[in-house]
Amino acid sequence: MTLRVKNVGTKPIIAFRVGGGLLHGVGEELPIHASFDYGIGWNWGNSFNPDKEKHHGPVLNAGDAVELSYANVSSLTRRVLAKEGEGAFRKLKFMAPAIQYADGSSPLIPPMRFRKLP
C-alpha cells in the first residue's frame, strides 16, 4: 500500500506518523472496548525538541505532498506483520495522526482528511 500525504494546512510539517489497526476481513469490526491485535504506522521526517535543538531535515510545506510506502514502516512492525503474513489483512482502520510543525508545536488531535484517488 502506498499513501499519498499532502499538507493542506498553512504551517510547514517536519514530522508525522499516520497509521491504524489491521483486521483480517473487509466486513470485520472490532468489538467495543477491544484492541487491535495488529497495527501499522507510516513515519516521515524527524521530530525534535524545540527547547533543546533546531530542526535539520526535510520539510513538508503547505501544498506539498509525499508518498509513503512500506519502506516508511518500522522494521519491527514489518517483521511482526511478516510472521502473520502481510497479505492476511484486508482492512485498515485509521487512527488520529501525530504531527510536529516546523515551529516545534504538536497539536493533540491534528486534522486529517481522506480522499480516495481514482
Q: Which residue has the higher pLDDT, 34 or 50?
A: 34
Q: Which domain holds residue 8?
A: 3-101
pLDDT at 21: 94
In this structure, is residue 110 part of a structural domain? no
109 domain residue, yes or no:
no
Does residue 106 lie in a domain region?
no
Residues 6+ apart with CB under 8 A from 97: 16, 17, 18, 110, 112
pTM strictly above 0.95: no
58, part of any domain: yes
Q: Is residue 111 part of a domain?
A: no
Give the model's confidence band at 117: pLDDT under 50 very low, under 70 low, under 90 confident, else very high. low
pLDDT of residue 48: 85
Give a yes or no: residue 15 inside a domain: yes
79 domain-assigned: yes
Q: What is the pLDDT of residue 118?
A: 63
Average pLDDT over residues 96-107: 91
Domain count within the chain: 1
Spatial distance between the Cα atoms of 50 and 93, rounded to a whole number of angstroms: 32
